Structure 1
Amino acid sequence: MEVQFKIIRQTQDSSPRIQTYKLEVEPGNTILECLNRIKWELDGTLAFRKNCRNTICGSCGMRINGRSALACKENITSELARLEQIAASSSAPTASNGIPEITIAPMGNMPVIKDLVVDMKRFWGNLNKVEPYVSTQSRDIPEREFLQTPEERAKLNQMGNCILCGACYSECNALEVNPEFAGPHALAKAQRMIADNRDDHTEERLEDYNQGTEGVWGCTRCFNCNTACPMEVAPMDQITKIKHEILERKNAGDSTAIRHRKVLVDLVKQGGWVDERKFGILVIGNYFRDVKALLGLGPLGLKMLTRGKFPLSFEPSEGTKTVRSLIESVQRLEQQK
């Protein structure tokens, strides 16, 4: 079958351009195999990364039809089926000549070096900042082994599956607006250290990951990293676990991010949903303790009142008891872990 590949090409000093290649392919061919043939048979100047060809090294990360994935994992059949599903549920245009099209672009949130090759310097730098290695005083005793039970080791398996391909980093909305955010890849590795019973720097790590929007509070919980991850690491879930560890150790007055989480849960437990009248005052105003912040809410509050956006009364949800029971059940389960 014939497939048309539209590849976004550029260099560091040029604007992106689309170059089209037509190729006779087999349904089971991977995208990486097709890129290899384009380079070997049609255009030797095309640049992309590759290595293992077997979903192990993570080198061939790129955007395939708008979402970050591994070129060695995705094949022609599955990709065209995905495009058909998208076309069936939207008004997306199809190829005018009837030939299936696959668009390939470099990963996002990283500057392009050439074609599909991106500069991952910040990606690796952010990973290094979380110190993704076991730190323990037992290193001072050479003959001592780092023994773990199967149950203790099993807690590390999901995060250990990360191959650092960059797919989650590429799709991260938080990084698009906040370049200082550590990124889902780094924080997933950070959770591996928190869960590792051999590490003795847990408290110091949690303090580091709790800093502003550079750490876990910079996550927007958009689920893009979970969707993009080819290894089912679920980075956002790992970030949430770190947040829970921090929340267990902190009081609501410690920071706005922590108050936001605690006040949200408390208000939902009280009334079944969020009481907007209290939320901003308790979170921004720190339970009426931060007078300057409270005064800063004044102009916004007046605008909301004049436009009818500020509720003067609060009606608790009819399902408040059910909601409260669910929250308390989840909290009990978390304490048992």
Structure 2
Amino acid sequence: MQVNFQIIRQSENAPPWVQSYDLEVEPGNTILDCLNQIKWEYDGTLAFRKNCRNTICGSCAMRINGRSGLACKENVAQEIARTQTLSDSGIPKITIAPLGNLPVIKDLVVDMGNFWQGLEAISPYVDSSGLPIPETEFTQSPQEREGLNLPGNCILCGACYSECNAIEVNPQFVGPHALAKANRLVTDSRDNQTSQRLEEYNSETTGVWGCTRCQYCNSVCPTGVEPLEQIGKIKQKILATHQHTKEPVSTAIRHRQVLVELVKSGGWIDERQFGIKVVGNSLRDLKGLASLGPLGLRMLSRGKFPWSFEPSEGTAAVRSLIESVEKSSNY
């Protein structure tokens, strides 16, 4: 079958441009097979990364028809069926572009420096310092080891990083790949730095609270790591450590706690209390309260400030559901 490949090409610090190639391919050919065909038979200047060709190394991550994935995993038939787009000549079209959120070096090759810095920021290694040294090795039960399986499947391909909305607006966010690895560390029974790690990952902008929960990282992960779920597990651990403490907590933790408190109380959020309790820390943060002023005035001027609050008819059912979840998750 004939397929048109539209490849976004670019040199460093230069504007991108599109080059078109018409290939005769088999439906089962992978996208990497097709890129190899272009490079070997049509254009040796095309640059892209590859290595294992078997969904192990993560080298060939790129955007395929607007969605980040591995070129060695996605095949022609799947992509044509998914997008059903045609070229100007009327044949099926597949568009290939470099990963997002990373600067382009050449064509489909990106500079992964920021990606690796995000990983380095979470101290991605087990730290057993301070633990008694065993005679042979640090051992784990099958149950303890099982908890490491999912985050341990990450091959650091960059697909989740490429699609991350949080990184797009805040380059200081460490990224879903790093936080998925972070949950592996705070889950590992051989690590002796859990409390320090949770404090580090508690950052409102660079850590777990910087995540926008858009689900894109889960949808593109080629190995099913589900980075968003790993981030959620870290949040649960952080919240559990602050559940009974009287120490001041961050705005992000208050946001979660107040949201649950208000929904349990009224079935949905009482917007009159939410900002005051979260940003204003229940009238204890005068600077935070002052920051609400401009927003409050705009809401008042546009008739969007609720003067009263009516609890939901299903408040009791909502409260029961939340309490059941809290009980089952030991939070």
Kept after mapping to 2: 8 A contact 1:159/1:189:
yes
The counterpart of 1:168, out of the listed 129, 154, 160, is: 160
Q: Which residue of 2 aligns with 1:330?
A: 325
Tell me how many residue pairs correspond in the alignment. 328
For residues 50 and 142 of structure 1, what CA distance do their matches in structure 2 show? Answer: 41
Kept after mapping to 1: 8 A contact 2:62/2:97:
yes
- CA deviation profile, 1:74-101 (whole Å, cap 9, x unmatched): 00111111013xxxxxxxx643321100
Q: Which residue of 2 aligns with 1:318?
A: 313
Give the secondary structure class of the aligned counterpart of 2:182.
helix
Kept after mapping to 1: 8 A contact 2:299/2:305:
yes
Kept after mapping to 2: 8 A contact 1:56/1:163:
yes
The more displaced of 189-198 and 289-298 is 289-298
Write out aligned runs for 1:47-86 (5 A).
47-84=47-84
Write out aligned runs for 1:95-114 (5 A).
95-114=87-106
The more displaced of 47-56 and 248-257 is 248-257
**Residues 230 and 306 (structure 1), Cα distance of their counterparts in 2 relative to 1, 3 Å cut:** same
Percent identity between the two aligned chains? 66
Q: Report the Cα offset of residue 142 of structure 1.
A: 6.9
The counterpart of 1:306, out of the listed 298, 301, 309, is: 301
Long gaps (5+) in structure 2: none
Kept after mapping to 2: 8 A contact 1:106/1:117:
yes
- CA deviation profile, 1:214-234 (whole Å, cap 9, x unmatched): 111110111110111011101
| One-letter code aligned to 1:256 | T
Give the secondary structure class of the aligned counterpart of 2:115.
helix
Kept after mapping to 2: 8 A contact 1:6/1:21:
yes
| One-letter code aligned to 1:263 | V
The more displaced of 243-252 and 133-142 is 133-142
Q: Report the Cα offset of residue 247 of structure 1.
A: 1.0
For residues 138 and 227 of structure 1, what CA distance do their matches in structure 2 show? Answer: 39
Q: Which residue of 1 aligns with 2:214?
A: 222
| One-letter code aligned to 2:199 | E
- CA deviation profile, 1:134-163 (whole Å, cap 9, x unmatched): 100378737331211111100000001100
Kept after mapping to 1: 8 A contact 2:4/2:87:
no
For residues 294 and 129 of structure 1, what CA distance do their matches in structure 2 show? Answer: 33
Write out aligned runs for 1:241-252 (5 A).
241-250=233-242
Q: Which residue of 1 aligns with 2:126?
A: 134
Give the secondary structure class of the aligned counterpart of 1:137.
coil
Q: Report the Cα offset of residue 192 of structure 1.
A: 0.2
Q: Which residue of 2 aligns with 1:121?
A: 113
For residues 207 and 198 of structure 1, what CA distance do their matches in structure 2 show? Answer: 18
Are 2:206 and 1:211 aligned? Answer: no
Q: Report the Cα offset of residue 211 of structure 1.
A: 2.0
- CA deviation profile, 1:116-147 (whole Å, cap 9, x unmatched): 00000111111011111110037873733121
The more displaced of 254-263 and 136-145 is 136-145
Write out aligned runs for 1:156-195 (5 A).
156-195=148-187
Kept after mapping to 2: 8 A contact 1:268/1:324:
yes
For residues 184 and 55 of structure 1, what CA distance do their matches in structure 2 show? Answer: 19
The more displaced of 248-257 and 19-28 is 248-257
The more displaced of 205-214 and 155-164 is 205-214
For residues 111 and 190 of structure 1, what CA distance do their matches in structure 2 show? Answer: 25
| One-letter code aligned to 2:3 | V
Kept after mapping to 2: 8 A contact 1:253/1:286:
no
For residues 47 and 299 of structure 1, what CA distance do their matches in structure 2 show? Answer: 50
Kept after mapping to 1: 8 A contact 2:100/2:163:
yes
Q: Report the Cα offset of residue 304 of structure 1.
A: 1.2
**Residues 29 and 285 (structure 1), Cα distance of their counterparts in 2 relative to 1, 3 Å cut:** same
**Residues 138 and 304 (structure 1), Cα distance of their counterparts in 2 relative to 1, 3 Å cut:** closer
Q: Report the Cα offset of residue 307 of structure 1.
A: 1.4
Q: Which residue of 2 aligns with 1:278?
A: 273
- CA deviation profile, 1:286-315 (whole Å, cap 9, x unmatched): 011112322332332222122110111101
Kept after mapping to 2: 8 A contact 1:138/1:144:
no
| One-letter code aligned to 1:60 | C
| One-letter code aligned to 1:323 | V
The more displaced of 126-135 and 177-186 is 126-135
Normalising by structure 1, we get a TM-score of: 0.94
